[in-house]
Amino acid sequence: MGAPLTVLHQSKTRIRLGVAFPLNEACHDYLTELSKQFSSIRALHFYQTNKQFAVQFDRQQLDQVKAYLQAIDWEILMAKVRDNPIDHGPESVYDIVSNALYFKALRMALLPTSWRHGLILLRAVRFVKEAIKSLLTGKLDMHVLDASAIFVSLLSGDFRSADTIIFLLNLGDQLEAWSYETSLANLEQSLAKQEFPVWIQTEEGEQLKVNSTEISIGSHIVCQEGDDIPFDGTVIQGDGHVNESSITGEVFLVHKQAGDIVHSNTTLESGELIVEVTNNKPNARISDMIELIKTASTHQSTNATELTQKADNLVKYNFLGMALTYLLTRSISKALVFILVDYSCALKISTPISYISAINEGVERGIVIKGSRYLEVMNQIDTFVFDKTGTLTTSIPMINRIEPFYDYSIEDVLRIGACLEEHIYHPIAQAIVQEADNNHIIHEEFHGKITHVVAKGIISTYQDKTLLIGSKSFMEEHEIQFNANQREMITTYEDQYNLLYLAYGEQLIALFFIDMPLRQNTTDVLEQLKASGKSIVLLSGDHAARVAKLDQRIGFDATYSEVYPEDKHRIIQELQAEGRSVFMIGDGLNDSAALSQADIGAVFQEGSDLARQASDIIIKTDDLQSLHTLIDLSDGVQQKVQRNMTHTYTINSSLIVMGLLDLLSPSLLATLHNSATLLMITRSFFNVLD
C-alpha cells in the first residue's frame, strides 16, 4: 500500500493494523474523520500501545478498507506526531511488573539479611490484619488463606518463600487495580467520545441544530418533551417536569421553571425548556453509569456472582487438604502446598474482568451494555420482540411520492411545504425540507406567523388566506374540501403510506406520500434469528394493513397492530408468563414501559431519550446485525469464563500433585501458581470476537 502498515489480524469484518510509529490523539482524530468518507467503514479502534489500530467494516467490503488506507496522507500524519507529543498516560502492565522486579532486586542487593527479614515481617502485617477481619466476620476466604501461607512459611523459617508469596500477592493486587481502572477508563472514554445534534436558540430567538462539540458555557439549548438533557445548566425559559431518577433514584418527576438547575443525563418528560449551559462537557453524569457497571450488584452477572461465591467456598477445602496431608505425612512442606495453591484467586479476579472487557468490546462495536448480567441473560433469550417504525424501519422518513393538485407543480408544493416545515423539529418535517434541498429548491420566507399545533400540523397565512400542512384530521378541523379524485386517492393509499396534507385557502393542493424504509439487513437478520430457533414478534401502533404488508414480507411468529404503550407492556408480560425470555427492541416514548418489562430492553442510538434511559442496551450502529454481534459476544464471554474455570482446576490440581510429590519447592510452587493466575487474568482482557 506504500504505507508503514502491517496487517496483524484479519477477519471478515475487522482488520487490525500495526503502524511503524506511535499515533497520538491528533492522529486518531484525522484517521477517524477520513474514515467517515467511506460508508462501509463502521468504526475505528485505537489500542493502548499507540502503534496499532483496527478497522471495523461491513462484510465483503475489504476493497473500501484498502481505498481508505490508500487515502491516508502519511505526511499529514507524521506532522501531527511531531506537533503533538504523546502523553503516555498511566503506567502499563510492563511498568508495574518491571518496577516491582526492580525494587525486589534492589532490596536483595543492598539490604543485609536481617534487614530483609525485618522488612518481610513488616510487609506481612497487612495480610494478617485482613485475615483477622475476615475471621471476625465469620469468613474463611482468600485473605485467611494468603495470611496462612505467609505465616506457615515464616514459622518454618522459610523467609524466601514468604517473601515470594508477599511479592506475588502485592503484584497481583496492583495488577487487579490496574485492570479495573484500565477497563473502565477505556469504556468511559469510548462512551464520552459521542457526538450528537443539539438544538440551540440564538439571541434573535431562532432555533438551529448544531453539533454537540459546538456547545459552550452560556449556550442556550432547546429541550423538548421526551428529550434527554445533554448538559448541566439553568432554565431561563419554559416549564416542564424532569425525571431525575438517573441521579437521585427517585421516580417522582421534578417541576422545573425559569431559575431552576437541571442536570445532564436526566429526561424532560413533559413541557419545553430553554437551558443556559453551565457545563459544556456532554453527559457529565456518564461516570455514574460507569461506576454502576463496576459496583452495582443488581447489574452484576449472576454467573459472576455465583463464581465469586464458589471461589470463596473453595477456601475451606484448601485448609481441609492441608490438615489431612499433615496428619497423613507429618510434612509441613507438603501441607503447605494446599495453602500456596488455591482455586479461588484466579476465578474471583478473572471473571469480572472478562465481563467488563466484553462490555468494552461491545462499545468498540457500537453496542453499549449497561451491566454484565445482560450478557448472561442474552444467552437465554428465546423470543425477540420488535417495534416497527424506527426499529425495523429507519427513524428517518422518506418522501416516496408527491401528488400536486389543481395548477400547482411538484416544485411549487415542495417549496411551500419546506418553507412551513423548516421551523419545526420533527422527522416528517425534516423529510420535507431534505427533499426540497435534494431537488435544489430554494424556499425563502413568504408566509405569515407560524403556529405549531402539537401532533396535528402547522397553520400560517399567505395573502390573507390560510396555509395548512399536517394530518387528515387537521384538515377536517379547518373544513378543507376534498374533491372526488382526492378522496379516492386517500382511500387507496392511506393504509400503505403516511399521508401529509397541504392546503391553501379551502382547497387541498398536495399530498405527500411518506414511507419508512426497512433498515439495512433487516430481512436477513430476522431470517437468521428464525433459523436459529428464536421466535420473532412484531408490535406496532401502525395500521393493520401496513403491519400485514410487512408480515407478508418477513413472516413473524405473531404480529400486533394499532397497539398502545400499555398494550405493549401487557404483551411482554403475557409472553413472560408463558415462560419465555424476552428481548424487546424499540425506539420511542411509547416503548419505554415495554422495554423496562422485558428481560432485556434495547434501543437504537437515535431512539427517544426516555426509551434510552429505560433500556438495558443501546445499539449505536443503526444496524440490526448488531443483534447477532450481541449474541456472539454473550456466547463468547460465557465460553471464556468456563474456559478460565477449567484451566484453573486443571493447572492448580497439577501443581498440588507436583507439590505433594516433592517435585516443586514451596517457593517455586508459589511462583508458578501466581504466574498462572496472572496469565489467566491477562487472557481475560482479550476480545472474544477477534
| pLDDT, tens digit, 9 for 90 and up, residues 622-648 | 788 999 999 999 999 889 888 888 888
Residue type, 472: K
User: Vertex 204, ends 200 and 210: CA angle to 5°?
Assistant: 25
Kindly indicate the confidence band of residue 416, based on its pLDDT and cuts at 50, 70 and 90: very high
The residues that bridge with 14 in the sheet, in sequence order, are: 56
Given this model, what pLDDT does residue 613 score? 64
User: Vertex 256, ends 255 and 260: CA angle to 5°?
Assistant: 135
pLDDT for residue 292 is more than 50: no
d(CA 649, CA 651): 6
d(CA 476, CA 482): 9
C-alpha cell at 379: 444467552
Based on the number of CB atoms within 10 Å of its own CB, is 218 exposed (0-12), middle (13-18) or buried (19 or more)? exposed
Based on the number of CB atoms within 10 Å of its own CB, is 494 exposed (0-12), middle (13-18) or buried (19 or more)? middle
Tracing cell 487487579 back to the chain, one arrives at: 176
Q: Tell me what the mean pLDDT of segment 362-389 comes to.
A: 86
Q: Tell me what the mean pLDDT of segment 150-172 comes to.
A: 76
Is residue 14 within 8 A of residue 45, CB to CB? The reply is no
Instruction: State the distance between the two ends of the chain, measured CA to CA, in whole angstroms.
Output: 23
Query: What radius of gyration do the chain's Cα atoms show?
Result: 31
Given this model, what pLDDT does residue 556 score? 95
Lowest average pLDDT, out of 37-46, 144-153, 631-640, goes to 144-153
C-alpha cell at 339: 495453602
pLDDT for residue 278 is more than 90: yes
Is residue 229 within 8 A of residue 264, CB to CB? The reply is yes
Residue 471's φ and ψ, nearest 5 degrees, are -85, 170
Of the candidates 609, 612, 489, 672, the residue with the CA atom closest to the CA atom of residue 224: 609
C-alpha cell at 353: 474482568
Characterize the bridge pairing of strands 465-470 and 498-504.
antiparallel
Q: Tell me what the mean pLDDT of segment 525-537 comes to.
A: 94
Residue type, 497: Y
Name the average pLDDT for the chain: 81
Given this model, what pLDDT does residue 647 score? 86
d(CA 51, CA 77): 13
Given this model, what pLDDT does residue 432 score? 92
pLDDT for residue 230 is more than 60: yes
pTM flag (> 0.85): no
Neighbours of 659 (CB within 10 A): 26
Q: Hey, which of 147-156, 439-448, 533-542 has the most confident mean pLDDT?
A: 533-542
Given this model, what pLDDT does residue 593 score? 78
What percent of the chain is predicted at pLDDT more than 70?
A: 83
- Note the Cα 634 to chain centre separation in Å: 14
pLDDT for residue 136 is more than 50: yes
Is residue 319 within 8 A of residue 348, CB to CB? The reply is no
Q: Which residue has the higher pLDDT, 439 or 9?
A: 439
Tracing cell 498462572 back to the chain, one arrives at: 676
Given this model, what pLDDT does residue 2 score? 46
Given this model, what pLDDT does residue 382 score? 95
pLDDT for residue 441 is more than 80: yes
- pLDDT tens digits, residue range 57-105? 887 788 888 899 988 888 888 888 777 665 544 456 667 777 888 888 8
Q: Which residue has the higher pLDDT, 225 or 190?
A: 225
Kindly indicate the confidence band of residue 330, based on its pLDDT and cuts at 50, 70 and 90: confident
- pLDDT tens digits, residue range 535-590? 999 998 777 888 888 899 899 999 998 887 788 889 999 999 999 999 999 876 66
pLDDT for residue 189 is more than 50: yes
pLDDT for residue 209 is more than 90: no
pLDDT for residue 592 is more than 80: no
Of the candidates 127, 25, 48, 160, the residue with the CA atom closest to the CA atom of residue 95: 48
Across 93-196, where does the E strand assignment appear? none
Given this model, what pLDDT does residue 443 score? 81
Q: How many helices (H) and strands (E) does the chain have?
A: 24, 25
Tracing cell 413472516 back to the chain, one arrives at: 555
Given this model, what pLDDT does residue 404 score? 97
d(CA 315, CA 345): 10
Kindly indicate the confidence band of residue 272, based on its pLDDT and cuts at 50, 70 and 90: confident
Q: Which residue has the higher pLDDT, 492 or 295?
A: 492
Is residue 264 within 8 A of residue 230, CB to CB? The reply is yes
pLDDT for residue 611 is more than 70: no
Kindly indicate the confidence band of residue 242, based on its pLDDT and cuts at 50, 70 and 90: confident
Is residue 452 within 8 A of residue 424, CB to CB? The reply is yes
